[in-house]
């Protein structure tokens, strides 16, 4: 499973609305999913949309675990959950909006403040074409919104109130900078 190159905003695929997939359960798409998971983990990131690897299809992978509230600093981190979402659609959004710092694997070295819904409900197909519904809150909701934006040709910098350059050690320590 090869690691695929992650494209930047100079590639027009990143700014295009991605195409809907008819049947995700085909070998070529399963290979793309495996490649995207490996690419996301190697980057390292918490989410990756197909347009970020120059494939204009409505597909994203997300891997994240919300740390438990009030957990001691030396606590073992929870096991992250992997989501493969095909043709995702946000079907419900909280009215509450929260400001947070985001980064992007397609824009390395930069971060920005972005207002997002605190919670979302996403309907999609899983990697085998079965319908799923995910209710996400907090950072996980932010990651889903960020990746679905990619599928619509939107980058976080389009929504950011402020964008700045970050140091490599800052990006490595903050999961919001690895979306």
Of 95, 147, 170, 179, the catalytic one is 147
Residues 102-116: pLDDT tens digits?
999 999 999 999 999
Residue 74 banded pLDDT, cuts 50, 70, 90: confident
pLDDT of amino acid 75: 81
- Superfamily of domain 12-66+73-178 in CATH is Peptide deformylase (3.90.45.10)
Is the pLDDT score of 172 beyond 60? no
147 is annotated as an active-site residue: yes
Which helix or strand (DSSP H or E) is residue 138 part of? helix 138-151
pLDDT of amino acid 71: 77
Q: Pick from 81, 82, 86, 79: which is nearest to 132 by CA?
A: 86
Burial 92-109 (b: 16+ CB within 10 A, else e): eeeeeeeeebbbbbbbee
Percent of the chain with pLDDT over 90: 82
Residues 27-61: pLDDT tens digits?
999 999 999 999 999 999 999 999 999 999 999 99
pLDDT of amino acid 153: 98
Is the pLDDT score of 178 beyond 60? no
CB 167 within 8 A of CB 91: no
pLDDT of amino acid 60: 98
For the chain, the average pLDDT equals 93
Can you read off the two tokens belonging to residue 150?
């990619």
pLDDT (mean) for 65-93: 89
Q: What is the DSSP string of 27-89?
A: HHHHHHHHHHHHHHHHTT-SEEEGGGGT--BSEEEEEE-PPPTT--TTSPPPPPEEEEEEEEE
What pTM did the predictor assign? 0.91
Domain boundary assignment for the chain: 12-66+73-178
């Amino acid at each position: 499973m090869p690691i695929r190159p992650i494209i930047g905003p100079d590639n027009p695929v990143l700014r295009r609305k991605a195409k809907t997939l008819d049947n995700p359960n085909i070998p070529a798409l399963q290979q793309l999913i495996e490649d995207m998971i490996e690419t996301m983990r190697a980057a390292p990131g918490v989410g990756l949309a197909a347009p970020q690897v120059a494939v204009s299809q409505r597909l994203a992978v997300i891997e994240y675990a919300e740390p438990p509230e009030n957990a001691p600093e030396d606590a073992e981190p929870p096991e992250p959950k992997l989501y493969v979402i095909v043709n995702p659609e946000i079907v419900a959004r909280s009215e509450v909006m929260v400001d947070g710092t985001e980064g992007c694997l397609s824009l390395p070295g930069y971060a920005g403040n972005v207002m997002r819904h605190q919670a979302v409900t996403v309907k999609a197909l899983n990697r085998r074409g079965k319908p799923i519904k995910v209710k996400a809150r907090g950072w996980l909701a932010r990651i889903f919104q960020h990746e679905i934006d990619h599928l619509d040709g939107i980058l976080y910098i389009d929504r950011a109130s402020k964008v700045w350059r970050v140091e490599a050690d800052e990006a490595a320590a903050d999961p919001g900078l690895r979306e």
